[in-house]
């Protein structure tokens, strides 16, 4: 059944199409309706990985030993994962570096100095094209 109706009738009322979800309550045995429009628990995104993914480990190890972004990898592995995923994207990578290295929202504390150095060095490597993956 379509919410648009049968061609002639037009829109149907929202309540005719969406029925309340019945879920058990912990304070009783009776099933009570829960307003599906206010229950967002199933719509939440998964949290990002707080560890280096295999592609990120390969990316970090591709740098010369003296230039590896070790502070970035140890303190912000999820950001390493983002950079490694965007490394070969000629549109996405510059936008990612811009978002990471500048404060567009105002009042942000920023990264620790060692991480900022790593991000700046990684950005320079990306623009130089010296690191191919």
32 shares a domain with 61: no
- 98: closest CA among 73, 125, 119? 119
**77-86 and 92-101 are packed helices; what angle lies between their axes, rounded to 10 degrees?**
150
40 shares a domain with 69: no
**Does residue 26 sit within a domain?**
yes
Q: What's the predicted TM-score (pTM) here?
A: 0.62
CA separation for the pair 119, 110 (Å, rounded): 12
CA separation for the pair 111, 17 (Å, rounded): 49
Question: Which tens digits make up the pLDDT trace of 31-88?
Answer: 555 555 666 666 667 777 788 999 999 999 999 999 999 999 999 999 999 999 999 9
What is the dihedral angle through the alpha carbons of 50, 60, 91, 103, rounded to the nearest 10 degrees? Answer: 60
CA separation for the pair 70, 56 (Å, rounded): 12
Mean pLDDT across the chain:
78
Q: How many domains are there within the chain?
A: 2
Domain, as residue range, for 25: 1-44
120 shares a domain with 82: yes
124 shares a domain with 63: yes
- 49: closest CA among 86, 77, 85? 77
93 shares a domain with 31: no
**Does residue 133 sit within a domain?**
no
103 shares a domain with 68: yes
70 shares a domain with 18: no
61 shares a domain with 18: no
Tell me what pLDDT residue 24 has: 57
């Amino acid at each position: 059944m379509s919410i648009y109706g049968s061609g002639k009738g037009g829109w149907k009322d929202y309540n005719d199409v969406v029925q309340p979800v019945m879920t058990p309550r912990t304070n009783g045995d009776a099933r009570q309706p829960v307003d599906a429009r206010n229950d967002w628990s199933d719509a939440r995104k998964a949290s990002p990985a707080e560890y280096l993914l295999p592609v990120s480990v390969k990316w970090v190890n591709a740098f010369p030993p003296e230039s590896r972004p070790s502070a970035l990898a140890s303190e912000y592995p999820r950001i390493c994962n983002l950079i490694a995923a965007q490394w070969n994207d000629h549109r996405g990578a510059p936008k990612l570096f811009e978002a990471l290295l500048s404060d567009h929202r105002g009042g942000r504390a920023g990264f620790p100095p060692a991480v900022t150095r790593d991000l700046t060095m990684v950005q320079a490597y990306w623009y130089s094209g010296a690191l191919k993956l």
